[in-house]
Amino acid sequence: MKVLVLGAGQLARMMALAGAPLNLTVSAYDVRSGNLVHPVTLEVLGSGLENGIADADVITAEFEHIAPDVLSVCQASGKFYPGEEAILTGGDRRKEKALLDKAGVNNARYQVIESKADYDAAVATIGLPLILKSALDGYDGKGQWRLKPDSDLEAIWQDINQFLQTSPQGSRQCVIAEEFVPFDREVSLIGARNAQGDLEIYPLTENIHTNGILSVSVAAGDDDQVQSQAEAMFKAVADALNYVGVLAIEFFDVGGKLMVNEIAPRVHNSGHWTQQGAEVCQFENHLRAVCGLPLGSAKRVRPTAMINIVGEVTVPIAVMAHAHVHWYDKEPRPGRKIGHINLCADSAGALGDALDTVSMLLADDEFPALKPAADSLR
């Protein structure tokens, strides 16, 4: 079976590696060049989305910020999973919040802002502090604001209004104001849903971010009651989208009560640990779901941690004696994810020890989340 992935990055690459043993041939549509490429070898297989669609049995995506015309032509083919609506929802904060409400899952109070009246209403109704984010992808780092009690509300509105007027996405753009949630930790849940509505859900992963980029994910066992909350919300959201494929949901944990932060309609960085830690990894389960093959078990085999390799850092080969290194064959650039490290152990405590051992081989300023992650497990 032939699978076309929209996007030719590391997620398509890892899908191709997971698909090969199943005789699934994965190619990728590079949205920048318009080329069809093999996501591992980067061999150019052809060019043009129409050709890619014609040649594929199934189409899927590795990211959600995809031009609407690309999505609609894929949807029209009848081969696209999880499909246009799911991808649009993952890429548009306004649609995403509406979905969370429709699915009846707990999420932060919010207000859609398209005018000064909306802005004033958000301040009056939700109160300060407020987090404001553009609904669609921002550009050049723009599209995020924080309103604190001492902020100059008028100046920030001028900036937001300027942003809305000049957004390349035009009238589809807006800003979502959300209540500030003082969460204890961020966890995520990855799961697969097939066309029949069957689910295979992995155990919760606890995520540590550094400078806004995922740094370490740990799947070492979680509270059953928290896992149950997450699974119920996962099912509600996935069913509401009639979702087919792997879906990721990020939650805030506030005193043991979960609140959905955001969803990603695709395989997710916080699920990379499943390559070594779960019976069947997220990449294979995504392919199984979109290709109509039986889902594989999402059971965790043993406590596992994932460490992102971001930017121009040094990873000595000695790390390989203790861990699984996954490189993406990408040129290092500041802030760019170029690989990850999976680390397994027989118990949560032993995983803490293993993280500690690996942290001795890596620079503290390049991997600042390692030591806290190790300490939290012991």
Residue 283 assigned ligand-binding role: no
**Distance in Å, CB of 80 to a copy of itself, minimum:** 22
Nearer Cβ to a copy of itself (264/344): 344
Nearer Cβ to a copy of itself (19/90): 19
Tokens of 75: 């949807």
Say if residues 132 and 113 touch (Cβ distance below 8 Å). Answer: yes
**Distance in Å, CB of 3 to a copy of itself, minimum:** 14
**Distance in Å, CB of 110 to a copy of itself, minimum:** 39
Instruction: Round the CA-based radius of gyration of the chain to a whole number and report it.
Output: 21
Nearer Cβ to a copy of itself (21/149): 21
Q: Which residue has the tokens 């395989």?
A: 267
Residue 366 assigned ligand-binding role: no
**Distance in Å, CB of 43 to a copy of itself, minimum:** 5
Q: Which residue has the tokens 């604001």?
A: 145
Nearer Cβ to a copy of itself (110/273): 273
Exposure b/e, 252-280, CB count within 10 A at least 16 = b? bbeeeebbbbbbbbbbbbbbbbbbbbbeb
Write the single-letter amino acid at 147.
Answer: L
Residue 123 assigned ligand-binding role: no
Enumerate binding residues for a copy of itself (CB under 8 A): 13, 17, 20-23, 38, 40-41, 43, 279-280, 288, 293-296, 301-302, 317-318, 320-321, 324-327, 329, 344
Residue 139 assigned ligand-binding role: yes
Tokens of 202: 């992995």
Helix or strand (DSSP H, E) at 88 = helix 84-90
Say if residues 268 and 247 touch (Cβ distance below 8 Å). Answer: no
3-state class of 352 per DSSP? helix
3-state class of 217 per DSSP? strand
Nearer Cβ to a copy of itself (130/345): 345
**Distance in Å, CB of 321 to a copy of itself, minimum:** 4
Q: Which residues are annotated as a binding site?
A: 93, 133, 138-144, 178-181, 186, 209, 261-262
Q: Which residues are annotated as a binding site for ATP?
A: 93, 133, 138-144, 178-181, 186, 209, 261-262
